Amino acid sequence: MFFFDTHETWAAAARFREDAIKEANATIRKESKKLGIPDCFAPEVDLHWYGRGESASKWRREELRTVAHGWIDNMARQAKLDVEAFSVEIQTKLIESIVKSREAVEFLNTMPTATSLVPEMLTVEDVEKTRAMAGRVSRKRVHGRVPLAPPCDK
C-alpha cells in the first residue's frame, strides 16, 4: 500500500524539487547574464510546500501570535477603561447627591471628564497600517532569505 506521507516518499519528492529548482535557476541565471542583469538582481525560482497553510511557517506563526497578543492587550485595556469610566460616573453621581452648596456644584461641573483625560486608543486599522509599513521595511529572514535585496556592487 502507498502512503504519500512516508519519509521515503517525501525524501524523493524533495530531491525532485531541488533538482527542478536548480535547473530552472541555472536557466534563469544564463538568460539574465545575456540580458545584462547583475546576479544580485536576477530573479530566481523557489518552491515551498505547506501542509498547514500559512501557519506552517514559524515566522508567520510568530507574526500571527504577536498580532493576537496585541489585540488581546487592547481589548483588556479597553475593558479596564470601561470599568473605570463606569466607576467614576457612579462616584460622581453619589457625590452630586451629597453636595448641595453652589460652590461645590460649580467645582464638580468644571472638573474634566475621565474620557477627556484618557489618550485615544489604537484601532485595528491603526495596527494593520503599522504592520503593513513594518512589513515593507522588514529585514527578517523568510524561508532562509532576507526579503529586501542588499545593494548591488555591480
pLDDT tens string 51-110: 666 677 788 888 889 999 999 999 999 999 899 889 988 988 888 888 888 888 888 888
Are 41 and 65 contained in the same domain?
no
- What is residue 64's predicted lDDT score, i.e. its pLDDT? 87
Would 154 be classed as within a structural domain?
no
Stretch among 32-36, 52-56, 58-62, 131-135 having the lowest mean pLDDT: 131-135
Report whether pLDDT(17) > 50. yes
Cα–Cα dist 68/88, whole Å: 30
Are 138 and 62 contained in the same domain?
yes
Are 123 and 80 contained in the same domain?
yes
- What is residue 44's predicted lDDT score, i.e. its pLDDT? 93
End-to-end C-alpha distance for the chain, whole angstroms: 55
The residue among 20, 84, 24 whose CA lies nearest residue 12 is 20
- What is residue 25's predicted lDDT score, i.e. its pLDDT? 94
Cα–Cα dist 96/81, whole Å: 22
Please give the residue range of the domain that contains residue 13: 1-47
Cα–Cα dist 40/32, whole Å: 11
* Domain count of the fold of the chain: 2
Would 148 be classed as within a structural domain?
no
* 146 or 73, which is more confident: 73
Are 60 and 136 contained in the same domain?
yes
Query: For 27-32, what is the mean pLDDT?
Result: 94
Would 152 be classed as within a structural domain?
no
* 104 or 37, which is more confident: 37
Output the furthest CA–CA distance in the chain (Å, rounded).
91
**Runs of H (alpha helix) within the chain:** 7-34, 58-98, 102-110, 114-117, 124-137
Are 108 and 132 contained in the same domain?
yes
Are 43 and 65 contained in the same domain?
no
- Which of 26, 47, 68 is the C-terminal boundary of a domain? 47
Would 150 be classed as within a structural domain?
no
Q: Report the share of the chain in percent with pLDDT over 90.
A: 26
In the numeric block, the cell 472638573 is attached to 111
CB within 8 A of 56, min separation 6: which ones? 50
- What is residue 146's predicted lDDT score, i.e. its pLDDT? 45
Are 103 and 137 contained in the same domain?
yes
